[in-house]
């Protein structure tokens, strides 16, 4: 059997050592195979978690539409005067960022909520999650009177049949279509007979009514607006919600509300402009009537029907100057009307009309800014109160802009007055040349000039009124729906692939992380490879875990697996001891509890079974265990012999049932064990032992704790260094390497103890030759050991196989 192992002194063959340090795929699989149930459990939990998450999560659907925002002047195409359109119609359309802000603004979303009646929502309650009833519900909430409109209303409805329901289990019954009171609110539920209650899995519903502002805020979170590409005026509108129909309806309604608001703003500006022009036309009608009556009366009274030829040359110059003067006076009149309109308290909060042909950039810009602020204030007042800080800030800005506008109008009027003063001087110069012209003719000309100014102004206002009316009648929005809203009926959330992938990945990472952490934190020898990686010391063999409580497991008729392992060790010792016919074998370890006494006892027994007279010397005089383990009575021992209180024949204790096996106990534990083992009487004792026995087993104290083994090494032919799986620290293997390389102990070899086997693979040592799975008691080669095997989870936590 020993030939299956080869020579134990592996340090003579570096090729074998290099291969031993490598972990074969088979060894890797069997080393970590015990963790497979933990990984499978983690994956199973992750799979169940992902399934439950997908099964009971509220699905979200995506709806999308595209809209073109035209970058053009609003108000229709009838008006071709850009200055008039800028002053009257609010200027050209803004950029896309402004339009996105308008679309996402609270007033717009609130109007969508009101138009769609989204303040009331109905949910069908399931055992775990609820489903939104949209676009139809089995009934409709009719609010008669709310106790607190700002607080909203929410209650549960449990339908008993198509006609009755209860609000709480075993509560009073109510009928559909009839008034009832809930939470101090008077309401009724109008039954939709087209939808039977049996359509729903459970006839339990949640009715929720919330204020429009609250619903708008909630709706805003699901609306997305983006610019798909640079250089375009197209907007992409999207909505994510728990109902695809709701998403389609919200986006379509949002685009419709946006169009409506734009048209309403333009029509409101047109209405204010028409109202202003009508007021001015009414005033001019009276002024023209007075001037015409004055002209007629003057001509009749003064007989001034003809103008002499003498004044024609001078009058030509005067007419040219008067033409310029009339134009300036028209502009001054327009400025006076605007100043009166702006400064009039009755026009506060109204749009400032056009300056009607006054080509002054400062005035135009100020009027446009004032109209923009006024529209913004009016829009915000729909959803906020006048004492809101935003409204107050707008009031301050309007007051300042109004002051700037009045000052600009006055400055322009002053410049026109200067120009008029210049024309008057020119007129006076020409009038001096008309001294020969009768005074009556001059008075008639002045009256006619006034009449001409009023007629021109009246004609101008009539033309602008017609243009404004045409523009108002043809008002269209500056937006156009490119792609109506469409929704996918495949939910975007939960994403099955992503959830399963993520959860299964977590289900693998966590157990593998636990396994890696266990391996990293494990600081004790766990396999043969752990020893081979840290020392060149040859490994003599392995001893498996003994399930029983008996120390002596080797007997003549024993076929247990552990007993066969000791027989293998006996064979391997032949390569260590060579031709030594009377070997002395020293057994030591790093510290207590690694199984020295167990190994010493059974190696002595396996040696005695070959017919060799064998003795086990209990040299661990500090903590002796050999005699106690064999359940023998103590008598005089080594310490008695050293101090001269006993003879050699008095020390021998025969072991029952094992022929040729004896034990020399340690005797009483001395106060100075280290010094006692240096006594010269010990040499005499070892001579007697060698004389009477063929094999000597020295069970010594742990060399990692005391120096006893080092002192006794001079008597030994070889040293068995016990390393116990799961007990000996890995760092202590380096001490074995030091002892081996520096030859501090004679002919040292390692013996692995308490190796746990699983499925036939034995502690990293591999398959035992031609015996197949050597660790299985069911193979028929061995007797089964006692004891109950621990579960896989306990073995994982304990780092065992």
The string of DSSP codes covering 300-362 is: HHHT-----GGGHHHHHHHHHHHHHHHHHHHHHHHHHHHHHHHH-GGGTTS-----SS---HH
Residues 337 and 450 reside in one and the same domain: yes
Q: Residue 499: is its pLDDT beyond 90?
A: no
Residues 6+ apart with CB under 8 A from 513: none
| Mean pLDDT score, 22-41 | 75
Q: What is the pLDDT of residue 586?
A: 94
Mean pLDDT of the chain: 80
Angle, alpha carbons 129-135-139 (nearest 5°): 80
The per-residue DSSP string of 372-384 comes to HHHHHHHHHTTTS
CA dist 174 and 190 (Å) reads 12
Which of 483, 482, 479, 463 lies closest to 471, judged by CA?
463
Grade residue 711 by pLDDT with cuts at 50, 70 and 90: confident
Q: Residue 311: is its pLDDT beyond 70?
A: no
Residues 600 and 741 reside in one and the same domain: yes
Q: Is residue 50 part of a domain?
A: no
Q: Is residue 664 part of a domain?
A: yes
Q: Is residue 768 part of a domain?
A: yes
Q: Is residue 386 part of a domain?
A: yes
Residues 469 and 543 reside in one and the same domain: no
CA dist 386 and 180 (Å) reads 37
Among candidate residues 187, 209, 231, the one where a domain is terminated? 209
**Lowest-confidence pick of 159-173, 344-358, 766-780:** 766-780
| Mean pLDDT score, 126-134 | 85
Q: What is the pLDDT of residue 5?
A: 34
| Per-residue pLDDT reduced to its tens digit, 368-392 | 887 888 788 888 877 778 888 878 8
Which has more pLDDT, 423 or 683? 683
Question: How distant, in Å, are the alpha carbons of 112, 255, 262 from that of 108?
Answer: 6, 10, 11
Rounded to the nearest 10°, the torsion over CA 336, 342, 347, 350 is: 120
Compute the Cα dihedral for 436, 442, 444, 445 and give only its sign.
positive
Instruction: Decide: pTM greater than 0.75.
Output: no
The β-bridge partners of 749 are 720
Identify whether 337 is preceded by a cis peptide bond (ω within 30 of 0).
no
Residues 592 and 676 reside in one and the same domain: yes
| Per-residue pLDDT reduced to its tens digit, 408-431 | 888 888 888 888 888 887 777 766
Compute φ and ψ for 121, nearest 5 degrees: -130, 150
Q: Is residue 590 part of a domain?
A: yes
CA dist 724 and 131 (Å) reads 63
Residues 400 and 459 reside in one and the same domain: yes
Q: What is the pLDDT of residue 431?
A: 67
Q: Is residue 760 part of a domain?
A: yes
Among candidate residues 453, 481, 509, the one where a domain is terminated? 481
CA dist 391 and 351 (Å) reads 17
| Mean pLDDT score, 579-593 | 90
Q: What is the pLDDT of residue 299?
A: 63
Residues 154 and 288 reside in one and the same domain: no
Structural domain harbouring 546 = 2-15+525-797
User: Count of domains in the chain?
Assistant: 3
Grouping H, G, I as helix, E, B as strand and the rest as coil, residue 233 is: coil
Q: What is the pLDDT of residue 435?
A: 57
Please report, for the domain that includes residue 678, its CATH number. 3.40.50.300
Compute the Cα dihedral for 768, 770, 772, 778 and give only its sign.
negative
Question: What 8-state DSSP symbol labels residue 493?
Answer: B
Residues 6+ apart with CB under 8 A from 661: 604, 605, 607, 608, 614, 615, 616, 654, 655
Question: How distant, in Å, are the alpha carbons of 56, 196, 198, 264, 763 from that of 162?
Answer: 28, 7, 9, 45, 73
| Mean pLDDT score, 46-64 | 85
Residues 463 and 536 reside in one and the same domain: no
Which has more pLDDT, 15 or 706? 706
Question: How distant, in Å, are the alpha carbons of 44, 330, 801 from that of 508?
Answer: 10, 88, 21
| Mean pLDDT score, 534-559 | 84
Q: Residue 725: is its pLDDT beyond 80?
A: yes
Report residue 528 as tokens.
């043969």
Chain centroid, CA 639 distance in Å: 74
The per-residue DSSP string of 422-473 comes to HHHHHHHHHHHTTTTS-HHHHHHHHHHHHHHHHHHHHHHHHHHHHHHHHHHH
Residues 546 and 605 reside in one and the same domain: yes
Residues 670 and 551 reside in one and the same domain: yes
Reported as half-sphere exposure (CB side, CA atoms, 13 A), residue 503 has a value of 20
Question: What 8-state DSSP symbol labels residue 143?
Answer: E
| Per-residue pLDDT reduced to its tens digit, 173-229 | 999 999 999 988 999 999 999 998 888 888 999 999 999 988 988 888 889 998 887
Among candidate residues 454, 481, 508, the one where a domain is terminated? 481
Chain centroid, CA 183 distance in Å: 39
Residues 302 and 438 reside in one and the same domain: yes
Residues 386 and 474 reside in one and the same domain: yes
Residues 465 and 529 reside in one and the same domain: no
Q: Is residue 129 part of a domain?
A: yes
Q: Is residue 253 part of a domain?
A: no
Q: How many residues does the chain have?
A: 801
| Per-residue pLDDT reduced to its tens digit, 97-129 | 888 888 888 889 999 999 999 999 999 998 888
Q: Residue 307: is its pLDDT beyond 60?
A: no
């Amino acid at each position: 059997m020993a030939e299956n192992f080869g020579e134990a002194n592996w340090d003579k063959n570096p090729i074998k050592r290099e291969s031993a340090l490598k972990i074969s795929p088979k060894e890797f699989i069997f080393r970590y195979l015990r963790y497979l149930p933990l990984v499978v459990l983690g994956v199973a939990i992750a799979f169940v978690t992902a399934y439950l998450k997908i099964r009971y999560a509220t699905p979200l659907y995506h709806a999308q539409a595209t809209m073109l925002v035209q970058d053009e002047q609003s108000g229709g195409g009838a008006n071709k005067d850009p200055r008039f359109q800028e002053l009257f119609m609010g200027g050209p359309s803004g950029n896309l960022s402004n339009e996105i802000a308008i679309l996402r603004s609270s007033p717009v979303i609130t109007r969508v909520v009101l138009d769609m009646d989204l303040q009331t929502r109905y949910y069908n309650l399931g055992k775990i999650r609820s489903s939104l009833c949209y676009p139809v519900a089995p009934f409709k909430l009719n609010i008669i009177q709310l106790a607190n409109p700002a607080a909203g209303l929410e209650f549960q409805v449990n339908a008993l049949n198509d006609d009755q329901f209860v609000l709480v289990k075993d509560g009073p019954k109510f009928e559909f279509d009839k008034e009832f009171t809930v939470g101090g609110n008077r309401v009724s539920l109008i039954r939709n007979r087209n939808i039977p209650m049996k359509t729903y899995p459970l006839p339990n519903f949640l009715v929720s009514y919330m204020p429009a502002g609250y619903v708008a805020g909630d709706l805003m979170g699901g609306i997305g607006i983006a610019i798909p590409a640079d250089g375009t005026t197209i907007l992409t509108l999207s909505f994510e919600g728990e109902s695809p129909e709701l998403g389609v309806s919200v986006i379509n309604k949002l685009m419709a509300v946006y169009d409506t608001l734009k048209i309403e703003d333009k029509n409101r500006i047109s209405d204010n402009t028409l109202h202003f022009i009508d007021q001015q036309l009414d005033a001019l009608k009276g002024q023209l009537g007075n001037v015409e009556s004055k002209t007629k009366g003057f001509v009749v009274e003064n007989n001034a029907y003809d103008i002499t030829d003498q004044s024609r040359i001078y009058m030509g110059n005067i007419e040219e100057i008067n033409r310029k003067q009339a134009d300036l006076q028209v502009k001054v009149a327009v400025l006076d009307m605007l100043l009166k309109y702006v400064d009039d308290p009755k026009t506060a909060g109204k749009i400032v009309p056009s300056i009607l042909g006054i080509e002054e950039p400062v005035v135009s810009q100020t009027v446009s800014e004032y109209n923009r602020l006024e529209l913004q204030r009016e829009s915000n007042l729909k959803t906020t109160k006048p004492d809101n800080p935003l409204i107050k800030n707008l009031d301050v800005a309007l007051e300042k802009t109004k002051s700037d506008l009045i000052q600009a109008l006055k400055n322009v009027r002053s410049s026109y007055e200067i120009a008029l003063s210049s024309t008057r001087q020119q007129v006076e110069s020409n009038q001096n040349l008309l001294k020969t012209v009768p005074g009556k003719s001059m008075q008639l000309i002045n009256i006619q000039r006034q009449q001409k100014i009023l007629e021109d102004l009246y004609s101008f206002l009539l033309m602008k009124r017609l243009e404004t009316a045409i523009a108002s009648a043809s008002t269209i929005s500056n937006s156009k729906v490119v792609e109506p809203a469409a929704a996918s009926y495949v939910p975007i959330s939960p994403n099955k692939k992503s959830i399963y992938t993520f959860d299964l990945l977590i289900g693998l990472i966590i157990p593998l992380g636990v396994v890696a952490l266990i391996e990293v934190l494990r600081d004790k020898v766990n396999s043969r490879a752990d020893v081979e990686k840290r020392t060149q010391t040859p490994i003599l063999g392995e001893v498996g875990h003994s399930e029983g409580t008996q120390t002596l497991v080797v007997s003549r008729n024993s076929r247990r697996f552990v007993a066969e392992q000791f027989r293998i060790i006996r064979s391997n010792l032949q390569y260590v001891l060579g031709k030594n016919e009377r070997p002395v074998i020293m057994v030591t370890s790093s510290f207590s509890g690694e199984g020295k006494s167990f190994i010493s006892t059974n190696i002595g027994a396996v040696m005695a079974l070959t017919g060799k007279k064998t003795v086990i010397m209990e040299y661990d005089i500090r903590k002796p265990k050999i005699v106690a383990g064999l359940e023998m009575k103590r008598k005089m021992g080594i310490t008695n012999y050293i101090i001269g209180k006993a003879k050699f024949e008095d020390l021998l204790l025969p072991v029952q049932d094992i022929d040729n096996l004896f034990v020399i106990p340690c005797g009483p534990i001395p106060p100075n064990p280290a010094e006692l083992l240096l006594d010269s009487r010990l040499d005499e004792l070892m001579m007697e032992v060698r004389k009477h026995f063929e094999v000597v087993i020295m069970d010594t104290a742990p060399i990692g704790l005391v120096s006893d083994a080092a002192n006794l090494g001079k008597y030994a032919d070889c040293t068995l260094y016990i390393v116990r799986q799961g007990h000996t620290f890995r760092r202590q293997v380096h001490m074995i390497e030091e002892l081996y390389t520096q030859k501090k102990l004679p002919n040292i070899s390692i013996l692995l103890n308490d190796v746990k086997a699983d499925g036939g693979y034995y502690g990293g040592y591999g398959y035992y030759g031609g015996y197949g799975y050597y660790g299985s008691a069911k193979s028929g080669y061995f007797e089964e050991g006692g004891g109950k095997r621990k579960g896989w989870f306990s073995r994982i936590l304990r780092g065992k196989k």
